Amino acid sequence: MQTDNELKELVKQKYGEIALQDKDTNASSCCGSSCCSLETANIMADDYATMEGYNADADLGLGCGLPTQYAKIKKGDVVIDLGSGAGNDCFIARHETGDAGKVIGIDFTPAMIAKARENADKLGYNNVEFRQGDIENMPVAGNTADVIVSNCVLNLVPNKDGVIKEIYRVLKPGGHFSISDIVLEGVLPANIQQAAEMYAGCVSGAIQKQVYLELITQNGFENLTIQKEKLISIPDDILSNYLTETEIAQFRASNTGIYSITVYAEKPLQAKSCCGPDCCN
């Protein structure tokens, strides 16, 4: 089993390579009998093209939802995008928050940060910035953001509880998030769980849906809502890199589900008071 740091380096390497390709290259990256993780990411993507603020150069087709569509961004908001990639969600958020607002993209892949900054320069945006950093330890002060968005990123992070705690820290009281991510119902085959390419492809790093939702509420968020949910089907030509035909059939029959969900939750205006004998000293 790889360590957390090894998994992070794997993701950084894979997404650094993706940053140097365009969306069409990513979408056609299936290598016949040896399909690679890039296609695994692309089979989850939703279409941003009709959304206001969309910029094709910033869309690498690697998401699993449309969190900015559901994020209830208002004019003047400060918005943070976790795992901002080439800037796609940031630029759409910028359209919603307007000139009076601010958008901060955080990504720990240097090539993605460079691509996003280049895209922002081309668009002439002076209220969108990109910061290189780990979303488990965001380079942002507490109580900064009105809204946080993220698209298919938390499943790539080993310490998901740590990221949710950071989201809580960085949001203003009364702020909220809308995050699209991959979750599971049931157990993946061992060969899928252990495949590095499937981790970078947003599958094997996903956790159980119920655990995911419980982490959010356990960290103090309120009014949790699933805004959208869809079943993800991984093609047999990808599964065949890791499973035999018999194992694929067993997997299909197991009712294990891989889902993209978009989740909304709010940070309370006031911290909950201590109400039990064991919750404070």
- 198 has a pLDDT exceeding 50: yes
3-class secondary structure, 200: helix
Written as six digits, the tokens of 224 are 């949790």
User: What pTM does this model have?
Assistant: 0.82
Q: What is the DSSP letter of 153?
A: -
pLDDT in tens, 221-272: 999 999 999 988 888 888 888 888 888 888 888 888 888 999 999 999 986 6
Q: How many C-beta atoms lie closer than 10 Å to residue 100's C-beta?
A: 10
Whole-angstrom distance, CA of residue 181 vs CA of residue 213:
11
CA 186, 235, 28, 30 dihedral sign is: positive
- 203 has a pLDDT exceeding 80: no
pLDDT in tens, 32-57: 223 344 444 455 677 888 899 988 88
Element (H, E) at 53: none
Written as six digits, the tokens of 215 are 């982490």
**What's domain 4-26+34-265's architecture?**
3-Layer(aba) Sandwich (3.40)
Would residue 184 be called left, alpha or beta, if left means φ above 0 and alpha means ψ between -120 and 50 degrees? beta
Domain borders along the chain are 4-26+34-265
